[in-house]
Structure 1
């Protein structure tokens, strides 16, 4: 019986027990953004630490940070073998609006072979798969083919604010040959993908202030600047009608796509019509000269995420608003510096600020993009493991989103990062009715086990 067949038999035999155990984890409302759940965050960290110890992982600790704790553990008895650092997060997004959930967000429910719960896909379900993979290898072989370390944090959903300092202070403890992360997704149902790059992030809030208070639009309209109109002018100045960003120097350091990458994306035969139907639009929109995949994986963006100000209740209120604001995020690509982009946004706003208002800018999440050459041995090994289980070729893709700590791992630990995800874009992570397709839970366990055997055979030392 092959190693993969042994993994398959083990996971099939223990499936019900594993799902029951995962449900325990999902019932913990570990919402990092809400102070009311601080004790729940500690409960989740304790749960993980106990599970790691039960697996046989050593030197397990719950390391406090200035925010929520980090869970660490290691097993280092595979002499001469590579070391894999597993990263994941146990915190989840808030559940609002609660009324849109079909079942309670922290009461896991299976429907149509999908596990519904907050965190089922992002990222508790995938973190749990790392634990069960280690359990299976210990059970089958009595040992592990590689050395392993675990770093599971509780602040990914709020930007991993305190993790870089932790990593910087623990470089020796976290030393490894590669970092394995399962917090991304497949390219499509039944189509596995290794993600070799992520976009970075720079976020700001623009606050516009005009008069000292709202004014009667009949008495003052036309003679005093309206804060919403002023804000609208600023927002309109950011992009042209084709979506090309008009901020001076915004594209200066953008790393161009290689011909090989552009051909690889073209070969995926992405179905734009299916996407339009999925998201409910009649036409797609984006920067001229680039395909949808190129736009969303390898080109930077500037998006208005929210606008506020004035009266928005039922009926009408004839006021001239004194205040207005907007939240903006830019997704960045390799070689763009988040601090430089924020400085350019500030300069742009100052240049386009209308008369009669004051404008302030607040900074939010920032992080650089990350990319690893997709011909790296650890990336190609991941592709082989996917193909053995899914029995179709693996796609090599970039992700349009951001995992803030990935670039920090790259810079501080100087290790290749392997993003082996098993979610799907349709699984409503960050939204009501988040779920995880159990077909990919089942296959993903086998992929991860096979991958650790693959890594053991690589000349990484």
Structure 2
């Protein structure tokens, strides 16, 4: 099959594909809200029908302690590699609803962009993989590689059920390459293969002082104020350049090669434009590292929120009984989330002011992930992007975290290829989420070509 045949197929079926995708997007599969539990089941059932229609086999819903998973395969390419496609059908909540120009679960196309919750993250990108397989099976009656799909309904709540499922089903999920489309491109018309993600470690710090709020005039200066105490703890975490002061925090950070840093420099990142887009006066962070390096290859510690005392209109002269803060750390290879959390706890204990008690609660954790960008599966993806987009592919890391990617890497021991087609401007997790249909059209062709590229890697 040649590219012109694939191109004609997708042109001929474009409107039908978009109507199908709209049907998927109409399902309000919000995993974090209990009132949408039935919708999560509908989302899984929709995928079963779509995968079956595409020609995949052994299509089934696998129940978990949480929301269901969907599995499918096609395993008739003897002697060829097996690709495991991972994606998710759950979406973020839609609040604040009044900021949406059209209803989040009533898809609309405007200016060649498809607007709906899940359009970019991740239903649109999952749908493209299904349709690429369907196209090749309808045209050729076979695929150039073996295929497996695992599509979950809990990614937006941290994939709590998936690691156990993967561990329990290692034989069923055995493959040569994992492909995920849940990341972004460098920009419009600028494709990118992401080969590294930062990990995550988060805690909540609760500081308690007196048994109840006190009058700040009667007791201020004689009783420790939990807000002052928590500010003192938080201030101790970093120096003025953002260098983290937690003992041993950087001990396991894997050095980055000069060659890789040269690749980053060649990306022609526009710092001035980035600052303008973000609405900031100047960038901030560790000296000796560029903006890209600070966000991709360096670990972080950020205060995500602080609460306590009175914050209403006017003034209330109160010495609060308690205060709390949430912090998260983004981690890089070879940092371990459990080790970092232990070090955070030790740091808080060492810097706890007198007169208060401190409790620490662990929450989100995920290991960092890295597949060497020289890996043949990564380079093959780059070639497929270049054929379709007619520009060189960037090989990038990403500052965010997809915890299940590291779990796949650790449990299955496979290279992970992150072939994203979204753009940073598409408002995923925000009102008016949308997907540029130029990348929908080209992405179908990229994915199809990659299946042929991957077939040569056996």
Regarding TM over 0.5, the answer is yes
Q: CA deviation at 1:312?
A: 1.4
Q: Partner residue of 1:198?
A: 197
Task: Note if contact 1:30-1:40 (Cα within 8 Å) is conserved in structure 2.
Answer: yes
1:251 aligns with 2:225: no
Question: Structure 2: how far apart are the matches of 1:288 and 1:256?
Answer: 16
Q: Partner residue of 1:129?
A: 128
Question: Structure 2: how far apart are the matches of 1:133 and 1:413?
Answer: 25
1:209 aligns with 2:208: yes
Question: Structure 2: how far apart are the matches of 1:244 and 1:102?
Answer: 41
Question: Structure 2: how far apart are the matches of 1:337 and 1:458?
Answer: 32
Equivalent positions of 1:256-275 (< 5 A) are: 256-275=255-274
Question: Structure 1: how far apart are the matches of 2:327 and 2:2?
Answer: 49
Q: CA deviation at 1:353?
A: 0.8
Q: Partner residue of 2:332?
A: 333
Q: CA deviation at 1:416?
A: 0.6
Q: CA deviation at 1:147?
A: 0.8
Summarize deviations over 1:129-186 as a string: whole Å, max 9, x none. 1111111111221211111000001111111111000000000000011001000010
Question: Structure 1: how far apart are the matches of 2:232 and 2:364?
Answer: 25
3-state SS of 1:334 partner: coil
Question: Structure 1: how far apart are the matches of 2:362 and 2:321?
Answer: 22
Question: Structure 1: how far apart are the matches of 2:406 and 2:10?
Answer: 33
Q: Partner residue of 2:361?
A: 362
Give the TM-score taking structure 1 as reference length. Answer: 0.98
Question: Structure 1: how far apart are the matches of 2:56 and 2:138?
Answer: 13
Q: Partner residue of 1:412?
A: 411
Summarize deviations over 1:6-57 as a string: whole Å, max 9, x none. 1111111111111111111111111111111111111101110111111121
Q: Partner residue of 1:342?
A: 341
Q: CA deviation at 1:272?
A: 0.4
Q: Partner residue of 1:444?
A: 443
Question: Structure 2: how far apart are the matches of 1:171 and 1:225?
Answer: 54
3-state SS of 1:353 partner: coil
Task: Note if contact 1:201-1:366 (Cα within 8 Å) is conserved in structure 2.
Answer: yes
Q: CA deviation at 1:61?
A: 1.1
| Gaps in structure 2 of 5+ consecutive residues | none
3-state SS of 1:354 partner: coil
1:39 aligns with 2:51: no
Task: Note if contact 1:309-1:323 (Cα within 8 Å) is conserved in structure 2.
Answer: yes
Task: Note if contact 1:374-1:396 (Cα within 8 Å) is conserved in structure 2.
Answer: yes
3-state SS of 1:328 partner: strand
| Gaps in structure 1 of 5+ consecutive residues | none
Task: Note if contact 1:3-1:450 (Cα within 8 Å) is conserved in structure 2.
Answer: no
Question: Structure 2: how far apart are the matches of 1:235 and 1:412?
Answer: 35
Question: Structure 2: how far apart are the matches of 1:314 and 1:12?
Answer: 58
Question: Structure 1: how far apart are the matches of 2:13 and 2:255?
Answer: 47
